[in-house]
Amino acid sequence: MVTSNFEYFAPTSVDEATSLLSKYRGEAKVLAGGHSLIPMMKLRLAEPGILVDIGQIEGLSYVRKEEDGVAIGSMTTYREMATSSVIQSNYPLLADASARVADLQVRNRGTIGGSLAHSDPAGDIPAVVLAIGGSVVARTRRSKREINIDRFQVDLLTTALRDNEIITEIKLPGLASGTGTAYSKFHQPASHYAITGVAAVITISGETCTDARIAVTGAGDKATRARRTERILKGKELTPPVIRRAASRAAAEIGDALNEDIHASAEYREHLTRIHAGYAIDQAVAAAG
């Protein structure tokens, strides 16, 4: 399969890359790991006239411990995240989810920036970052802004990113002590994409749940917070009946927008969402203790 023709640029700095995006606004697309964009171009679902490859820019892959959390460069690959000791110790669910994306070869190419920008409804990382919280740093030629992750995923394959912006960094907040995390997914056995995946970040103080962020992927159009589940958990002692009741509401926000495709019916996805919400919460609670 041959993609349509395009003009190719390989800038070596973010400034050069953002200048190209401004100059060719509307026509140009960013190429990162290429593991969503190239397959889409082969199918001619995407036919950008210009590609700006950010893979030759030095200094976009890093995991850096900061005072109030961790900063991850947008070109950091799944493999780099899965094997980073900073990520393993600060956000075990991100290391675990990264190690379970696709396969060894895809994990060597796919990037955190690409997976957030692409916002695949079955992608793992959007839900994990949504459960951790934090923000996406986006730059244009002239400006730089931080987009709160809660406002980043807008719709199916659609984010708050503008077409002249490049994600340069993902900022994750430090997690309070007593926080446990987990990611539980039911994967499509060939691609490993999430048929349904649930990410949980839960803080427990004494016997009480003081904070909970739960995010669901695969079930709907985009990664979504399960706010009703969170509300049931917060302020309570997380006994098995409380967890069961909270998990049973995990698909509530998705409502009628449950996906239905060759892999699973809407009904089955709703069922899987509850089950995996239960697993993720159980595991996060165990990790918090």
Partner 1 sequence: MRAYVETSGKGPTMSTEITVTVNGTAHTEAVEPRLLLAHFLRDVLDLTGTHVGCDTSQCGACTVHLNGEAVKSCTVFAVQANGAEVTTIEGLADGDTYSNVQQGFWDEHGLQCGFCTPGMIMTSEALLKQNPNPSEEEIRAGIAGNYCRCTGYQNIVNAIGAAAKAGK
Question: Footprint of ligand FAD on this chain (CB under 6 A)?
Answer: 29-37, 39, 54, 74, 101-102, 106, 109-111, 113-115, 117-118, 120, 123-125, 161, 166-167, 191-193
Judge whether 245 and 232 are in contact, CB under 8 Å.
yes
For residues 264 and 204, what is the distance between their CA atoms, to the nearest angstrom?
Answer: 34
Taking CB under 8 A as the criterion, which residues in 42-101 touch partner 1? Answer: 42, 51, 53, 55-56, 79
**In the complex, what is the shortest distance from the CB of residue 22 to ligand FAD, in angstroms, rounded to a whole number?**
13
Alpha helices in the chain (DSSP H): 14-23, 37-42, 78-83, 85-90, 92-99, 104-109, 112-118, 125-132, 227-233, 240-247, 266-288
Judged by CB under 8 A, the chain residues 7 through 46 that form the site for partner 1 are 7-10, 31, 34-35, 38-39, 42
Which residue has the closest beta carbon to ligand FAD? 114
CB of 158 to ligand FAD, least distance (A): 11
Choose the binding region for partner 1 from 103-111, 149-157, 265-273, 280-288 (rule: CB under 8 A).
Answer: 103-111
β-bridge partners, 182: 200
Looking at beta carbons only, is 39 or 255 nearer to partner 1?
Answer: 39
Q: Which is nearer to partner 1, 47 or 237 (CB)?
A: 47
Task: Pick what 166 binds: ligand FAD, partner 1, none; C-beta below 5 to 8 Å, kind-dependent.
Answer: ligand FAD
21, 30 contact by CB (below 8 A): yes
Give the alpha-carbon dihedral of 158, 117, 227, 210, to 10 degrees: -160
State in angstroms the smallest separation of the CB of 83 from partner 1.
Answer: 9
Alpha carbon separation from 145 to 137, 171, 249, 273 (Å, rounded): 6, 12, 34, 33
If the CB atoms of residues 104 and 262 are measured against partner 1, the closer one turns out to be 104
Report the candidate in 237, 212, 214 with the shortest Cα–Cα distance to residue 226.
Answer: 214
Q: What is the rounded distance in angstroms from the CA atom of residue 131 to the CA atom of residue 228? A: 14
Taking the C-alpha atoms of residue 198 and residue 210, their distance in angstroms, rounded to an integer, is 20
Which one among 19, 22, 88, 108 touches partner 1, defined by CB under 8 A?
A: 108
Contact footprint for partner 1 (CB under 8 A)? 1-10, 31, 34-35, 38-39, 42, 51, 53, 55-56, 79, 102-106, 108-109, 190-192
